[in-house]
Structure 1
């Protein structure tokens, strides 16, 4: 994945995150209150947005370090984390299906893995 694709992915995900947050605040307020999951939904949106920003920043690193292929893997790890972590919390918040909370930590592990890959990829030797 080249840096332009990564930055475009971040832009699309950023717009989606804003839309999900707004929809949650306005269109889903009653459902979230019914299940007592407003805070859970907000956590999902926050972590999604944090990792959209991480994907964007990785795109900038990819422009500087085009041979650091581990940064590609970091993008996929962050995207996986968004889908599993935030996605499971969105479903949990809007349906009350509590067993989904059991898979949420897998998304957190994907986030951690992504950050480790950024650490490993953001070094001058990654250019070689």
Structure 2
């Protein structure tokens, strides 16, 4: 299931990035671009972490990307701007995923 979620996360990132580049304007295009970049990188990171056996880091990458990019996508679609206060929480979860992955690497060596 985690692999499926990471793969779908990558697909959503590509779609959001494409819409940001070709259909959105102004701040919405910026939010879509930023969200897509972070989500795509972390979809790949989730798959790599799975290969390393660091499932916790994978979950953090998928969940953090959903929070981080999801709030940006929602604001781009017209949701209230206060959602921008939630975006950094997703960023913290992403950072936690990288720390978790580093710890898994230390434990493996």
The answer to which structure, 1 or 2, has the higher relative contact order (CA under 8 A, 6+ apart) is: 1
TM-score bracket for the superposition, by shorter chain length: 0.7 to 0.9
Q: Match for residue 40 of structure 2?
A: 49
* 1:35-94, Cα deviation, whole Å (9 max, x unpaired): x321121000000011011111112212xxxxxxxx221111111111111000101112
Taking only aligned residues, the RMSD between alpha carbons, in angstroms, comes to 2.1
Looking at structure 1, the residues matched to 8 and 49 of structure 2 have their Cα atoms a distance apart, in angstroms, of: 15
How many matched pairs?
109
Larger Rg, first or second structure (1 or 2): 1
TM-score by length of 1: 0.73
Q: Match for residue 16 of structure 1?
A: 12
Q: CA deviation at 1:96?
A: 5.0
TM-score by length of 2: 0.84
Gaps of 5+ in 1: 63-70
> Is the contact made by 1:44 and 1:87 (CA closer than 8 Å) also made in structure 2?
yes
Gaps of 5+ in 2: none
Q: Match for residue 100 of structure 2?
A: 117
> Is the contact made by 2:16 and 2:32 (CA closer than 8 Å) also made in structure 1?
no
